[in-house]
Each structure stands twice: as C-alpha cells, then as structure tokens.
C-alpha cells in the first residue's frame, strides 16, 4: 500500500485496516449533532473549541490552525506515543487507489481567460493540462485498506506522531483523533463549526485556558453548518 507524500512528510502512514478504531462505535451516543455522537463516553470531562477564532477580531484562523492549538494543549498528555486519525471517506480531494488523480472523479479542472480574446484550442488544452497537473499534486490517494465504519459514516485511518493529525491540512482536518492509550479523544464532525474533546479534567482545564474552550456535557449540541 502506497502512502500519501503528505503523510510520509509528517512521519505517518495509512493503517492497514480499521482495527485501531474498533472500540469507538460502542462508546458513541445516538447519531446526531450531540457531543456524545462526536466523542465516546467514559472521559472525565469534555470541552468544545470553536473554529475560526482569533485574538484579533479582524483576523481569522483556518480549521487546521485551531486544531493545532488543541494539539499543542494535548501534547503533554500524549508524549511520544502514536496517535490515530480518521479522515471522512467523502472528501472530493480523495481518489481511488491506483486511479489517475488528474481525471479521477471528485474534482475537476477548469480554466478561464480575462479580456475579450478567446484562446485557440491548443492553448486551452495546454492550460487545462497544467491545471490538472497542479490539482493532481494536491489530491490524496485512498489507501488500499478497509475503512472504519461508524453509524452512517466511514473513515480512512492513519497513524503517526501527534502533529501528523495535520498532515492533510492543505485540504481538511481529520474527523477523529486519539492517542494509542485512548486518554483523550478529538471529534470534528464534517458538519460542525466546532471541535469536541474528551479527556481528563486537568486537560480540559488547560484547553479552557490555552485554547479558549468551553466545558461541555455529552448531550450538548455542536454548532453545525447550515
């Protein structure tokens, strides 16, 4: 199984199956917008961090920047143990294993010209070819491995050091992140504007102070994209 160069650069690799996440489904609440759907029960405390926050009201942070803040807080509780990540299978930048990323379904290349002139067919084809090559460099090949199936959704898993959770930040953040010892869990459903975290009470305290988190309970609803 070939690994994405983005994963390799982060010291990570695709898992060869879903086993690392087999424990998650039994701990989740009913499918929906609750924190208990995003993070398994059993943690001492829970917190929520909102995306697109920044110290300067005129400045915004992208989703990966906000997840990076959360990971910084979780670093002390993680140490150097492996961390597992789950990427939702439906992202358009993914393409099937062994396919040509320049033409695989999910994304398309388009070109346009300023002004009144219309390019000749050869020039247009050259521009399209360049656009397809640029797009192909950003796309990520799915692993040739079984997916982790949770109620109504499935994920590709990869494993690496803590910061490898940001390996695909140029396109998306993972929806699931947890360390090998399961001492914390980060849930980022694709429909939400928020990150849910389950962890020890002192870790949640640190998230409140250092990542502008709010304390939460499992039955609270995450703010969702409408």
Domain boundaries, position 25: 5-93+140-216
Specify the 3-state DSSP secondary structure of 198: strand
In a domain, 203, yes or no: yes
pLDDT tens across the length of the chain (226 residues): 567 899 999 999 999 999 999 999 999 999 999 999 999 999 999 999 998 655 555 555 688 999 999 999 999 999 999 999 999 999 989 999 988 888 777 666 666 767 666 777 777 667 666 666 666 577 999 999 999 999 999 999 999 999 999 999 999 999 999 999 999 999 999 988 899 999 999 999 999 999 999 999 999 999 986 5
Residue 225 domain-assigned (yes or no): no
pTM (predicted TM-score)? 0.88
pLDDT for position 22: 98
Q: How many domains does the chain have?
A: 2
**Do residues 112 and 88 share a domain?**
no
Spatial distance between the Cα atoms of 81 and 98, rounded to a whole number of angstroms: 31
Q: What is the pLDDT of residue 57?
A: 54
Q: Based on the fold, state whether residues 18 and 38 are members of the same structural domain.
A: yes
Query: Rounded to whole angstroms, how far apart are CA atoms 206 and 196?
Result: 14
Are 116 and 151 part of one and the same domain?
Answer: no
How high is the pLDDT of residue 215?
98
Is the domain of 159 the same as that of 197?
Answer: yes
User: H/E element holding 98?
Assistant: none
**Residue 121 confidence (pLDDT):** 75
- If asked whether residues 110 and 193 sit together in one domain, one would say no
Q: What's residue 217's pLDDT? A: 97
Residues 47 and 124 in one domain: no
Strand partners for 177 = 85, 186
């Amino acid at each position: 199984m070939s690994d994405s160069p983005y994963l390799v650069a982060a010291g990570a690799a695709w898992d060869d199956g879903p086993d690392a996440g087999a424990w998650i489904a039994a701990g989740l609440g009913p499918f929906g917008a609750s924190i208990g759907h995003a993070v398994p029960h059993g943690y001492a405390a829970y917190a929520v961090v909102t995306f697109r926050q920044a110290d300067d009201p005129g400045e915004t942070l992208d989703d990966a920047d906000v997840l990076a803040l959360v990971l910084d807080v979780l670093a002390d509780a993680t140490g150097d143990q492996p961390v597992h990540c789950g990427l939702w299978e439906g992202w358009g930048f993914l393409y099937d294993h062994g396919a040509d990323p320049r033409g695989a379904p999910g994304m398309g290349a388009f070109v346009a010209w300023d002004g009144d002139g219309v390019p000749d067919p050869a020039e247009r084809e050259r521009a399209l070819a360049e656009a397809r090559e640029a797009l192909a460099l950003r796309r990520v090949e799915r692993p040739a491995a079984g997916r982790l199936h949770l109620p109504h959704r499935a994920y590709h898993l990869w494993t690496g050091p803590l910061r490898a959770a940001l390996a695909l930040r140029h396109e998306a953040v993972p929806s699931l992140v947890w360390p090998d010892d399961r001492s914390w869990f980060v849930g980022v459903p694709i429909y939400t504007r928020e990150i849910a975290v389950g962890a020890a009470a002192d870790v949640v305290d640190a998230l409140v102070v250092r990542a502008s988190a709010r304390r939460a309970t499992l039955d609270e609803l995450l703010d969702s994209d409408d």
